[in-house]
A and B are shown apart, each in its own frame.
Chain A
Amino acid sequence: MSPHTRAVENWTLQPLTDFVREASARLVLVLTPSGQVLAQSGFSRAVDVMSAAALASAIVASTNELARQLRQAPFAALSHQGPKTGFFLATFVTDRGTLAVLAVYDLDVSSLGLVQLFYEQLAADLKAASPKGAVPKQVLAADFERELTDSLNTLFGR
Chain B
Amino acid sequence: MSKALDMITRVRGVRGAMLVSAEDGLVVAEQLMEGIKGGAVAALAASLAGRLRRAMDAAGTGTSVFWHLQAEQGALLVVPGSEAAGSLLVVAVTEPDVNIGLVRLELLRVAETAV
**Which residues of A pack against B, CB within 8 Å?**
81, 107-108, 110-114, 116-117
Contacts and interface: CB of A to CB of B under 8 A. Distances in A.
Contacts, number: 37
Interface in B41-64: 42-44, 46-47, 50
Nearest to B51: A109
Contacts of A116: 26, 39, 43
A112 B39 CA distance: 11
Contacts of B20: 113
A47 to B, nearest CB: 31
A24 B20 CA distance: 20
B23 A114 contact: no
A117 B40 contact: yes
A24 B98 CA distance: 34
A85 to B, nearest CB: 13
B48 to A, nearest CB: 11
Contacts of A81: 24
A113 B39 CA distance: 7
A114 B23 CA distance: 11
B26 A114 contact: no
B81 interface: no
Nearest to A112: B24
A21 to B, nearest CB: 13
Given A113-B46, A114-B25, A116-B26, 19 more contacts: A107-B23, A108-B50, A110-B47, A111-B23, A111-B24, A111-B43, A111-B50, A112-B24, A112-B25, A113-B24, A113-B25, A113-B39, A113-B47, A114-B46, A114-B47, A116-B43, A117-B39, A117-B40, A117-B43
Contacts of B25: 111-114, 117
B26 A112 contact: yes
Which residue, of A110, A111, A112, has the highest number of chain B Cβ atoms within 10 A? A111
A108 B23 CA distance: 9
Contacts of A114: 25, 43-44, 46-47
A10 B47 CA distance: 30
Contact of B26 (A108, A110, A113): A113
B66 to A, nearest CB: 21
Interface string B1-39: 000000000000000000011011110000000000001
A116 B47 CA distance: 13
Contacts of A112: 24-26
A113 B87 CA distance: 15
A84 B46 CA distance: 16
